[in-house]
Amino acid sequence: MRFEAAIDPMVSRSYEAMFPGSRRQQLDARALSDEALARIKQPCFLIHGRDDRIAPLDTNLPLLEKLPDVQSRVYGQSGRWMQIEYADSFHNLLNQLFLE
């Protein structure tokens, strides 16, 4: 249901209205620089659904290249809702990362 809303042209127009001018420029201006990413010393873990059509998997690539201490987990046959589509695996992963 949320995906259907996200791809609805009317919703898309409303979203784009929040970013006057070039949406890409607006979003890029909020992103951390390569230098800032390289200074992050905390371990980072990226979790992504391979079939996410809103934020494609390749959006992770710059972070994987620039963060010094990064790992990633990709769930195949999954979109935006890995935590629901692979609930047991997702929660076990979080428990391993944060509780052990």
pLDDT digit string, tens, across residues 20-47? 667 667 777 888 999 999 999 999 999 9
Encode pLDDT of 47-85 as tens digits: 999 998 888 899 899 999 999 999 999 999 999 899 999
Taking the model in full, what pTM does it have? 0.69
Domain span at residue 73?
A: 34-100
The answer on 14 and 54 residing in a single domain is no
The answer on 43 and 24 residing in a single domain is no
Burial, 45: exposed, middle or buried (Cβ in 10 Å; 0-12, 13-18, 19+)?
middle
Evaluate whether 72 touches 47 at the Cβ level (below 8 Å).
Answer: yes
CA 54 to CA 39: how far, in whole Å?
28
AA letter at 67: L
Number of domains in the chain: 2
**Phi-psi sector, 77: left (phi>0), alpha (psi -120 to 50), beta:** left
